[in-house]
Amino acid sequence: MKRLGSRPPPLQEVAAGLDPGGPTAGRLDELLHKTSRTFALSIPVLPQPTRREVTVAYLLFRVADTLEDATAWTPPERLDELERFGRLMREEPGDGPAELAARWEAHPPVVHGGYRELLADLPAVFEAFRRLAPPARELVRQHTLRTAARMASFVRQAAGRGGGGLADVEELRAYCYAVAGIVGEMLTELFLLGRPALAPIAAELRARAARFGEALQLVNILKDSDSDAGEGRRFLPTAVDRAEVLALARGDLDEARKYVLDLQRSGAPRGLVAFTALPVLLARGTLDRVERQGPGAKLTRPEVAALVAGLDAALDAGRPAIP
């Protein structure tokens, strides 16, 4: 099903690109598949070293997100563990990755098996992080710390309200920025790293990066609103008309489309174009489905395969990646 222009290299070839003695790319890919459906589809099409950098970054962001969203922990426990994770990312004195993994295994924050496996494998993920080239490593460190700090602020805010949800669209957008907009900004900087040909569009990419991330997060929030509510989480402000959030998501997706087309017109590597285009196509299709059928609706596997094939065909023909 997955081609997107060129089949990803075999795992043994990717692993050969890692430093000797480091964690295998195969294990990182396993963790990716167990924690994300969309990114497991799109990350493998990235060119190296961006593929490795984005894989490690995604897994670290997922660790922070799991600590923030820890349904089995109290708010003070979430804050304590986010702070411990922050000290690890800053490489300050404190618990190392093995100690943190042991703490989280003894007192799991969530029931999701893939997330728990990721937390248990924190030593391998952190070792892969430390083996990134210094410029990429510092970008990943900086943005992971930014998102963890903002996540902690939302945990405090929710605790101060007795567990209440977000109050209005401004708070919703601030939350989306904390958990996804910063991801868009980090990815943009990784794309620009070592690619001087993208310098002429750097300002445009940076201007749209946060809304790209916001678009994907809003679609997930709309899709999962019922299941989130069943687990005691509420991200959609009750005083805000759902149609307003749908409209915001559509506007963000249009900005994300422009981001992708800017990359494509600039002659960016095909893998960057495919990596950014696929989540937008999936989110647009999902949003259409949710608007018609309500929360919980999602694309089927054949529909996802059709979107992948359509993107491949567009890139092969030199057409816009997103109509």
Q: Which of 242, 244, 83, 237 is nearest to 174 (CA)?
A: 237
**Pair 135, 174 in one domain:** no
**Pair 194, 273 in one domain:** yes
Tokens of 96: 């190392």
How many Å apart are CA 188 and CA 193, to the nearest integer? 9
Domain boundary among 149, 164, 179: 164
Give a yes or no: residue 3 inside a domain.
no
- Residue 47 gets which letter from DSSP? P
Give a yes or no: residue 5 inside a domain.
no
**Pair 130, 41 in one domain:** yes
**Pair 118, 241 in one domain:** no
**Pair 190, 46 in one domain:** no
Q: How many CB atoms lie within 10 A of CB 195?
A: 16
Q: What is the pLDDT of residue 7?
A: 41
**Pair 221, 320 in one domain:** yes
List of E strands, 46-91: none
Domain boundary among 114, 137, 164: 164
Give a yes or no: residue 132 inside a domain.
yes
- The answer to whether the CB of 128 falls within 8 A of the CB of 29 is no
Question: What's the pLDDT tens digit per position in 139-179?
Answer: 999 999 999 999 999 999 888 776 667 889 999 999 999 99
Which SS3 state, helix, strand or coil, does residue 233 take?
Answer: coil
Q: What is the pLDDT of residue 178?
A: 96
Which SS3 state, helix, strand or coil, does residue 237 take?
Answer: coil
35 lies in which domain range? 15-164
**Pair 139, 225 in one domain:** no
Q: Is 323 exposed, middle or buried (0-12, 13-18, 19+ CB in 10 A)?
A: exposed
- Give the CATH number for residue 182: 1.10.600.10
Give me the number of domains the chain comprises.
2
**Pair 140, 36 in one domain:** yes
Q: What is the pLDDT of residue 13?
A: 33
- What's CA 124's distance to the chain center, in Å? 19
Q: What is the pLDDT of residue 235?
A: 85
Q: Which amino acid is at 162?
A: G
**Pair 152, 47 in one domain:** yes
Q: Which of 261, 268, 266, 267 is nearest to 190 (CA)?
A: 268
Q: Is 131 exposed, middle or buried (0-12, 13-18, 19+ CB in 10 A)?
A: middle
Domain boundary among 109, 129, 164: 164
Q: Which of 195, 188, 235, 193 is nearest to 210 (CA)?
A: 188
Q: Which of 321, 322, 323 is nearest to 5 (CA)?
A: 321
Question: What's the pLDDT tens digit per position in 83-136?
Answer: 999 999 999 998 999 999 999 999 999 999 999 999 999 999 999 999 999 999
pLDDT mean across residues, the chain: 90
Angle (nearest 5°) at CA 149 between 218 and 119: 80
Question: What's the pLDDT tens digit per position in 44-93?
Answer: 999 999 999 999 999 999 999 999 999 899 999 999 999 999 999 999 99
Give a yes or no: residue 6 inside a domain.
no
Q: What is the pLDDT of residue 167?
A: 85
Q: Is 96 exposed, middle or buried (0-12, 13-18, 19+ CB in 10 A)?
A: middle
- The answer to whether the CB of 179 falls within 8 A of the CB of 217 is yes
- The mean pLDDT value for 209-238 works out to 89
**Pair 147, 36 in one domain:** yes
